[in-house]
């Protein structure tokens, strides 16, 4: 993570060019670390203030120096596509959680254990599937598997999400 800051007197054109360049670099390079992925959006939002100040300045007066080329606006640069990175990451988290056993396993659905009894890997399957081993007969909002009762042939306890599935063999 690096923090860069440009100081000095800027004309309107040079200031806009500097903000666009630095924000564009942040869009490409600012996401590659846990801390950076948190700080980068804040930094880009903080760049809005200087950009607005530069836009209020008058056009540069002719003189001995040549103003910088401001280049294309940010939304016309390829770097803007990197804004999709955090959006894609959040979307993947949501999709990943939608496919979890907790969200899909309901009373009446069928499951298969693709793991072992000591390390279960429970997946929801269609009850008509030949893979279906157990039918969910109850879903408890605790990890106390003793509440399943005598009708349950097996239980699946997820201590991380704090729920228990009471399971009966599919006949």
Structure confidence by residue, pLDDT tens digits, 5-38? 888 888 899 999 999 999 888 888 888 888 888 8
Residue 100 has pLDDT above 70, yes or no: no
Q: Show the beta-strand stretches assigned E in the chain.
A: 110-113, 122-125, 134-140, 154-158, 163-169
Give SS3 for 3: coil
Tens digit of each residue's pLDDT (9 = 90 or more) over 114-160: 888 788 888 889 999 898 999 999 999 888 888 898 889 988 888 78
Question: Quick check: pTM over 0.85?
Answer: no
DSSP H/E element including 56: helix 48-56
């Amino acid at each position: 993570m690096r923090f860069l800051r440009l100081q000095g007197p800027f004309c309107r054109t040079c200031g806009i060019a500097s903000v666009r360049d630095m924000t564009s670099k942040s869009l490409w390079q600012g996401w590659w670390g846990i801390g950076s992925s948190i700080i980068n959006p804040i930094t880009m939002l903080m760049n809005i203030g200087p950009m607005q100040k530069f836009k209020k300045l008058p056009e540069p007066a002719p003189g001995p120096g040549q103003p910088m080329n401001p280049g294309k606006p940010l939304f016309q640069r390829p770097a803007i596509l990197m804004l999709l990175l955090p959006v894609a990451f959040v979307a993947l988290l949501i999709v990943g959680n939608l496919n979890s056993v907790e969200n899909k396993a309901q009373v009446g659905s069928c499951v298969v254990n693709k793991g072992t009894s000591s390390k279960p890997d429970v997946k929801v399957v269609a009850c008509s599937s030949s893979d279906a081993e157990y039918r969910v007969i109850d879903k408890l909002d605790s990890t106390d598997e003793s509440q399943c009762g005598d009708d349950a042939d097996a239980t699946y306890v997820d201590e991380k999400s704090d729920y228990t599935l009471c399971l009966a063999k599919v006949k």
